Amino acid sequence: GAGVSQSPSNKVTEKGKDVELRCDPISGHTALYWYRQSLGQGLEFLIYFQGNSAPDKSGLPSDRFSAERTGGSVSTLTIQRTQQEDSAVYLCASSLAPGGVTDTQYFGPGTRLTVL
């Protein structure tokens, strides 16, 4: 079956430009997460969406980062005025239902962002 897909797989941009990263979760999954994986760092939580509820944005590193989830499905992570320290792999994950300690998050392949 179709898993979580992300696009683009690679993005190279110049410092100061805006970028949009897209995530298509598994159909029927109500919970969606964004993470950032930098070289030498673990996965860092960015934002969480659940249905029509207000997202948990507590992990967003600055106000240059924002995310939307339209119609409870596709999500877009936007980084404005990109900086070199934003270079990382951005991973999206979805799960069937929130909250359970044994719930499984399914990850997409990620978008590798390089800011020159």
Partner 1 sequence: TQLLEQSPQFLSIQEGENLTVYCNSSSVFSSLQWYRQEPGEGPVLLVTVVTGGEVKKLKRLTFQFGDARKDSSLHITAAQPGDTGLYLCAGVDSGGYQKVTFGIGTKLQVIP
Site for partner 1, rule CB under 8 A: 4, 31, 35, 40-45, 48, 50, 56, 91, 93, 95, 98-105, 107-110
| Shortest distance (Å) from residue 17 CB to partner 1 | 24
Nearer to partner 1 by C-beta: 14 or 54? 54
Instruction: Identify whether the C-beta of residue 91 lies closer than 8 Å to the C-beta of residue 59.
Output: no
Smallest separation, CB 41 to partner 1 (Å): 7
Nearer to partner 1, 14 or 42 (CB): 42
Q: From the CB of 101, what's the least distance to partner 1, in Å?
A: 4
Q: Compare residues 80 and 87 and give the one whose CB is closer to partner 1.
A: 87
For 51-74, give the DSSP string. Answer: TTSPPB-TT--STTEEEEEGGGS-
Question: 63, 84, 70: which is closest to 16 by C-alpha?
Answer: 84
Q: How far apart are CA 98 and CA 116, in angstroms?
A: 37
Q: How far apart are CA 54 and CA 26, in angstroms?
A: 20
